[in-house]
Structure 1
Amino acid sequence: MDDLTYRLPQKRVIRTELPGPASRALTERRKASVAAGVGSSVPVYAADADGAVVVDVDGNSLLDFGSGIAVTSIGASNPAVTQAVSEQAQHFTHTCFMVTPYEGYVAVAEQLATLTPGNHEKRSVLFNSGAEAVENAVKVARLATGRQAVVAFDHAYHGRTNLTMALTAKTMPYKARFGPFAPEIYRMPMSYPFRDDPDRTGEQSAHDVIDRMEKQIGTDTIAAVVIEPIQGEGGFIVPATGFLPTLVDWCRANGIVFIADEVQTGFARTGDWFACEYEGIVPDIITMAKGIAGGMPLAAITGRAELLDAVHPGGLGGTFGGNPVACAAALAAIDTMRANDLPARACEIEAIALPRLRGLANDVDVIGDVRGRGAMLAIEFVRAGTTEPDPALTKAVAARAFDQGLILLTCGTYGNVIRLLPPLVITEDALLDGISVIEQVVRNTADDQR
């Protein structure tokens, strides 16, 4: 990616204390106007962003290893996307596809049919957010099968609407006191290699899940199995090889819709266009958002034609779903991913970062696991010499990295995982600089706790 040009220098520059005076002033304004229930990972306010750099209102340049939670994979202000947005906005910003349709929506659906796994006939519907996509995928599965039960997994995250909160596993902060939740949701154990019996195969774990589903729910009542091929908020958990294919085969044999939630993993993030491709999985329905449109709000479900076409006209949609400006951004983003072979670039990021992170894990006794695929990598922190989660150390690492000008995000059911989601267009110098900051901060934080 070093052959790309950027508006902003791709490096860390700290000009003030963090947060600086302008960010502190905005925080005071925020307290008086923004609901307290909306949190932010870092206490500075963005004024500009480009590539892998965010410039705050005080002029500090921060290296971004979060990408707006895997959204700005092609950079925070990719020129192809900004041009496409500008050109579309000059014609019309909205008509509502359900009222007066337009070509951009159709073109995005055509692209998704090409990009998503499988050669079967497909249909797509566009929405605004990942949660909407998941919720509508479940709607389709229930209608098409005539069944009600939906299976989700431990450590899962699928959104903050009522149904997707029910599918989500973690209580705080996502579910606490927001119930009652949608019924007929059943939770099963997830394959979590770091915390599972090391002798247990993915196939064995999947067969245990299948046995539970058959006994506790009943095969003929299950409409869908919903799973993230690599879990996101739950801790970037990569299931053991064989776990997902075994579940897919069982779903196919029993008329159950297999829904792959690729909201965070999709669009080149894991080294393939979609994470389920790694084991050759072809979902019945795939949900997408985040990286699809270069930062514009857009989401989608793409699935087997017979499933999506089973829904009556008017049963799917939404006022802003597939907004024309967002569609233009998506088409430009997909072209950019293809032109720069960003799936391959994600593999290059893994090849650079993973050995360094695993070397760090060998040097300190507070890292239990380093895992991930492509540019979706994670460090799981534990109390020294144990497998006990250490969320306090994890929080301290993220805070100290921020003090050095590096944005890192935490995640995990136990709050003990640092996730790395750099833009796929990050320069090698910026990537190496960010990894060096992580190494320094982890070593210093671990030493301080001794």
Structure 2
Amino acid sequence: MFIDSAKIKIKAGNGGNGAVSFRREKYVPKGGPDGGDGGKGGSVIFMVNLGLRTLQDFRYKRKYRAEDGQNGGKANRTGKDGEDLIIKVPPGTLVKEEETGRVIADMVKPGEKVVIARGGRGGAGNQRFATPTRQVPNFAKPGEEGEELSVILELKLLADIGLVGFPNVGKSTILSVVTSAAPKIANYHFTTITPNLGVVDLGDDSFVLADIPGIIEGAHQGVGLGHEFLKHIERTKLLIHVVDISGSEGRDPLEDFEIINDELKKYNKQLAERPQIVAVNKIDITENLEEKLKNFKEAIEPKGYKVFPISAATSKGIKELMRYGAKMLKELPETVIVKPEEKYVYETKNEEDFRVYKENTVFVIEGKWVEKLIASINFNDYESLQYFQRSMRKKGIIDALEAKGINEGDTVRVEDIEFEYYK
């Protein structure tokens, strides 16, 4: 089963907390601070693995978390960094941020690595806060939280050549004849509902061929399974446009040809400009073949299309078609890959970090930043309280409280801690 999209949640590791510790040595009754820094949280890294062809694994596991950094220790010991989490994806995986839809990474090259969520920095131990005037800092910084986000994974085929055309024109049969792929083949529309891949081995040359599920009129608007099918063509260098010259489905082959190209153009103009070889199939069951073939060629060859009459059922003309495709591939440049947008990096902003409001007579402060700060403060230590007040002012929280009309002696609450406000 070919899975071409998945949604997963990833969480980088949190940084370890800095330690509050003091030297305790014999004959050194008042040793200085020696609390070590916390370790860095592990990052979530995506890596291209050539051995993977689908996103199947992401159906069964949808939450991924890197290791947290360890807390700092006494004697200036730094906490161990958390291990990075490596998530392997197939080549051609597009990584998008679910919330914004922006492209974070386009994973193509073998072994390519991209950091999708960065681990939090470790907090500073109390030894870093020692100054000539503050010799006994009784506080340390907590570690930062690692980035967390939901991402959409999309696998766009890295096929060299894509087979396109209406349902039942013989694309799956062609693929089964020239590769070891074994698509299910039957005579009804949407026989193929997911792309099938196969390697065409010509002895001295080879390439990847994809049977793109049948496109119908209105596909660019999502008719049928339009959008799901069309997006798989975007990376192919070359298209083999298969038409049924016999008209066995009651359709006109020339009209089919124009409709498919129109759908490609409406979906993506670059697709319509992709080089095409035209494979006129089912010549073995076509009545008045020469006349129909002559009329078809006269209509499209002046536009620059190369036409190959073939029979997928009997393999007639198939080898010549594949060799011509291999020849064209060598002359074509790589297809344009989706350019990732600049990765969104969360920047600390006052309005996002905290919220100040009045609840009856109590001024309430909410937000992760201030909650972390509170967790690192020793409220029985004067210097620690001074550090707390300076940090609150620097962050803009004091200004926000004053804007809400706070006065000296009023009560302030952060989580379950209450204290009186004094300038």
**What's the TM-score bracket when you normalise by the shorter of the two chains?**
under 0.3
Q: Report which of the two structures shows the higher radius of gyration computed on alpha carbons.
A: 2
TM-score scaled by length of structure 2: 0.24
Q: Which structure's residues are more often helix, by fraction?
A: 1
1 or 2 for the larger relative contact order (CA 8 Å, sep ≥6)?
A: 1
Q: What TM-score, normalized by structure 1, do the two folds share?
A: 0.23
**Structure with the higher fraction of residues in strand conformation:** 2
